[in-house]
Structure 1
Amino acid sequence: MRALKLGRRVFEAGDHAVMAIVNRTPDSFFDSGATFGFEAAVAAVDNAVAAGADIVDVGGVKAGDGPEVTVAEEIERVVPFIAAVHDRHPQLVISVDTWRGEVAREAVAAGAELINDTWAGWDPSVIEVAADTGAGLVVSHTGGLEPRTVAKKAVYGDVVAEVRAELVANAEAAVAAGVRADGILIDPTHDFGKTTYHSLDLTRRLDELVETGWPVLVALSRKDFVGETLDLPVDRRLNGTLAATAVSAWNGARVFRAHDVTATREVLDMVASIKGDRPPKAPLRSL
């Protein structure tokens, strides 16, 4: 498996990178706008770094239904903030969560080193930005959904095979368009264009995506497939999220987008040690 290069950082095949979520939105499904304020968002980044985050993913538009956010509003929410975080934490990889090429270009100019295009190339100019600037790119799968929409009925013959084929084709197309091959991640994009059964199947068979050789990112944190599996609201989905995180790590995922950085870091470190990729920190028992 290839190394992943994002900004100054290189993540090797055995590394698990935590991508902390900081949403500059007033209506986040997780925290209802707790990091909408500039200073609150800065504090959240500081805390995430202290807890072991390798990447911070900054978003300015809620993924789900909600009030329209113009391009100008999204830029105002994320770009000055990215610039401030870049100055404050120069070793931190900053990702911008956007499907809009105009926003991506401004964000990369401010210090973002990864474009997390969660809407699967809806705006083709996102790929152009990654190619022009050398930024990394998350290639996602949404079943053809328009941004900020939910599938009325998601149907696949074999969801894993179909997601795998589309992600590989789109990753190869991005390279052909000039995007760095060592900056590309593929994301099965749990929930987006998928039922809970589909997301569970993707988690169970994630190794089939890992076998493509492209580094795999998973965004599992507190999602609906966790809530529907356990019949729990957002504020009680941490344990289910961590179970899915452990399974995904065991199956070879490399980057983990998470709200709960400390818990995610501990789970990933434990999985890495069980797999033999990381030594225990304090192995004293019976020695």
Structure 2
Amino acid sequence: MTDRLYVYPISTVSGPQAVEGDAVRLAGGMVYAREFAVIVRREGQTVSREVTNASGIADAFAKLPADLGPEAEAQWSALRMAHPAMELGDRTIRLDQPQVMGILNVTPDSFSDGGKFMDDPEEMQAHAAAMHEAGAAIIDIGGESTRPGAKAIWEGEEIERVRPAVAHCAGMGAVVSIDTRRPAVMEASIEAGARIINDVSALRYDPRSLEFAASSGAPVILMHAPGSGEDLHAAPDYTAVAFDVFDFLKEARDRALAGGISQDRMILDPGIGFGKTLADNLSVLNHLPMYHALGCPLLLGASRKRMIGALSNEAPAHQRAGGSLALAQLGMDAGVQLLRVHDVFETVQARNVWRGLRDAALTDFGGLPD
């Protein structure tokens, strides 16, 4: 029997001064965590759970089985880790505040835009420019739909779809990530100017992907999806989905480390909407702060997802901006570093207002005596 440990931040405060310093800066961002649940699970069941504050964490760790001590310290260190900025050629993306990644699909069957950016290059270019000017730190370009039921395409076709978009966006000065699970597409896109690899299969789909990603030197986004092969949504068998996603991402991180990708080049994505029911998605979203314990920046891709329609009278994709902004704020409140969204202008505006509130909170002592 193998015990698994999870150090889960369960409450936050406006700033450390609000609780006389008894809080930690979560992942080097603008969120401060005060209380933590130290959870031990065995064979899919929780066998112990202790809630403590930052000042009591050492005592909580002292009660753990000796073999869990190193993992406890590693997760505690990761929760307090300040992630360095991503240096991407002549562009720097800081990770001490949320950054917005704009979605550009050049597919005929995207659930959000119906293929219009593939069929009309001028409209694609105008949309990319609008996202860039609105404040997108990254433009994420994908040439294959990964919605449930979508069919895989030939890699040569995928390259023909994405390469012009990558070259155009890189040429206008944007940082580009390539959303693909195929090493040939990764390579062609990096040659065209992409700086980041975003693999929804966490480098599992093609055994050559890990080797290429390691040799490329590019940051890599590793996403949770329960399926393998062509169907990433297939046959989820969760015991407790939030913890199962944590375990998957930990294994994906360790596999990438063993394959030559340094941890400071990894970003982890819990994969909202991939092989998850509405209840599963809600559980993962409510546990987002826990994933900081894996020691990598986090990406949240919940924009216009089906779950928003399920919670709002089946609103179609183009009418899910309000729900998308609600989930983006949830991500910001959880300390997520990257928000992958369709509605860039609105999300950047929400981020800027959120940041103003956070900045003000650090100097607002709430009437405490001097």
Same fold flag (TM > 0.5): yes
Q: What amino acid maps onto 1:14 in structure 2? A: D
Residues 22-33 of structure 1: matches in 2 within 5 Å?
22-33=104-115
Residue of structure 1 equivalent to 2:337:
254
The answer to whether the 8 Å contact 2:201/2:232 transfers is no
Q: Secondary structure at the match of 1:35?
A: helix
Q: Which residue does 1:95 correspond to in 2?
A: 177
Q: How big is each residue's C-alpha offset from its partner over 1:139-193, in whole Å with a ceiling of 9 and x where there is no partner?
A: 1110124345533x63422211111121122112212212232221000000101
1:3 to 84, 89, 102: 84
Matched, 1:180 2:289: no
1:38-49 superposed matches below 5 A: 38-49=121-132
Match of 1:111 among 163, 182, 193: 193
Partners of 1:257 and 1:129 in 2: CA distance: 24
Q: Aligned equivalents of 1:11 and 1:215: distance in 2?
A: 12
Ranked by relative contact order (alpha carbons within 8 Å, sequence separation 6 or more), the top structure is: 1
Residue equivalent to 2:312: 230
Q: Which residue of 2 aligns with 1:214?
A: 296
Deviation sequence 1:123-152 (CA, Å, 0-9, x none): 23222222111011111110124345533x
Match of 2:207 among 110, 124, 137: 124
Give the SS at the match of 1:252: coil
1:108, CA displacement in angstroms? 1.1
Do the aligned partners of residues 45 and 277 (structure 1) sit closer, same or farther apart at CA in structure 2, a change above 3 Å counting? farther
Give yes or no for the alignment of 1:157 onto 2:239.
yes
Q: Which position in structure 2 is the counterpart of 1:69?
A: 153
| Conserved? CA contact 1:4–1:183, under 8 Å | no
> Which amino acid letter does the alignment assign opposite residue 260 of structure 1?
D
Task: Give the match's secondary structure for 2:110.
Answer: coil
Secondary structure (helix, strand or coil) at the match of 1:139 reads strand
Q: Is the 8 A contact 1:6 1:136 kept in 2?
A: no
Counterpart in the other structure of 2:348: 265
Structure with greater strand share of residues = 2
167-176 vs 14-23, which moves further? 167-176
SS at match of 2:117: coil
Moved more, 163-172 or 258-267: 163-172
**Cα distance change on mapping 1:80 and 1:190 into 2, 3 Å:** same
For the pair 1:202 / 2:288, whether they are aligned, the reply is: no
SS across alignment from 1:211: helix
**2:165 counterpart of 1:81:** yes
Q: TM-score, normalised by structure 1?
A: 0.90
Deviation at 1:85, TM superposition (A): 2.0
- Residues 88-108 of structure 1, C-alpha deviations (whole Å, 9 max, x = no match): 22xx21000101111111111
Task: Indicate conservation of the 8 Å contact 1:114/1:135, yes or no.
Answer: yes
Q: String of CA shifts for 1:205-227, please: whole Å, max 9, x gaps.
A: 10001232210001011001111
User: Structure 1 residues 39-48 or 12-21, which shifts more?
Assistant: 12-21
CA contact (8 A) 2:299 2:337 kept: yes
Q: What residue ranges of structure 1 are gaps of 5+ in the alignment?
A: 280-287
Query: 2:150 and 2:237 mapped to 1: Cα distance?
Result: 25
Is the 1:130–1:179 contact (alpha carbons within 8 Å) kept by the matching residues of 2? yes
Q: Hey, what's the Cα distance between the residues in 2 that align with 1:183 and 1:93?
A: 15
Partner of 2:357: 274
Larger radius of gyration: 2
Aligned residue for 1:285? none
Structure 1 residues 149 and 160: CA distance shift in structure 2, 3 A: closer
Cα distance between partner residues in 1 of 2:348 and 2:244: 31
**One-letter amino acid matched to 1:211:** A
Does the aligned pair in 2 maintain the 1:6–1:135 contact within 8 Å? no
Say how many residue pairs are matched: 276
**Secondary structure in structure 2 of the residue aligned to 1:105:** helix
CA RMSD of aligned residues (A): 2.0
Moved over 6 A (4+): none
